[in-house]
Amino acid sequence: AQKVTQAQTEISVVEKEDVTLDCVYETRDTTYYLFWYKQPPSGELVFLIRRNSFDEQNEISGRYSWNFQKSTSSFNFTITASQVVDSAVYFCAPRYGNNRLAFGKGNQVVVIP
Amino acid sequence: GAVVSQHPSWVICKSGTSVKIECRSLDFQATTMFWYRQFPKQSLMLMATSNEGSKATYEQGVEKDKFLINHASLTLSTLTVTSAHPEDSSFYICSAPTGDTEAFFGQGTRLTVV
């Protein structure tokens, strides 16, 4: 099975601080997609961002930004100016053959007002 | 955008009974759907791949006779937990990929077996 490492189990930040979530993955594929999902307490998975492996340009989308480094197999995600509504579990998920997603253990983000 | 609807959102059943969970793609056709299970504070683990018109593909360690999957149409996959036991209590969630875009997930089903 493909391995995804999200080392930070729980991260607490004060509202308006930035928070960066680390993700390191293993793959034998040369091309693949990378995703970040948010899971609020209600349980549903909310799509956040998608990046394909042949485009290493880092982007910003609203308060979200990401840093993809193919050479180190890392796909880090940053929330800028965190808000209480950002409190959730965040999953990094590379997608491999047959559209299968491999999920990391998740980062529990707690934003303190 | 594409929507996947999962029903029911929660269910409580007695030990030994069977529970059926439905996953529907509402505005697109899904020849493949995925079923995941998530225990509290754990990651999502892929249980099986549901294939329209053919048998499901199960991940190692998942009992195919216990978790019956049927993908009878291009918009519906069902997961039946047969003879449920308390250890089957978990959060079950389905997804349907749409080509190169993100996989769309259902709302999830919280199963409690008492």
Q: Which of B81, B48, B47 is nearest to B67 (CA)?
A: B81
Element (DSSP H or E) covering residue B75: none
Give chain A's mean pLDDT. 90
Substitution target in A3, A49, A99 with the highest count of B β-carbons within 10 Å is: A99
Q: What is the mean pLDDT of each run of 10 residues along chain B (114 residues)?
A: 88 97 92 94 93 92 95 94 97 86 87 97
Strands B109-113 and B10-13 come out as: parallel
Residue with tokens 């978790």: B67
CB contact under 8 A, B34 and A106: no
The answer, for A38 touching chain B at a CB cutoff of 8 Å, is no
Substitution target in B9, B23, B33, B43 with the highest count of A β-carbons within 10 Å is: B43
CB contact under 8 A, B42 and A105: yes
Q: What is the per-residue pLDDT across A68-106, written as a single tens digit (0 to 9) for each?
A: 888 899 999 999 999 999 999 999 999 877 788 899 999
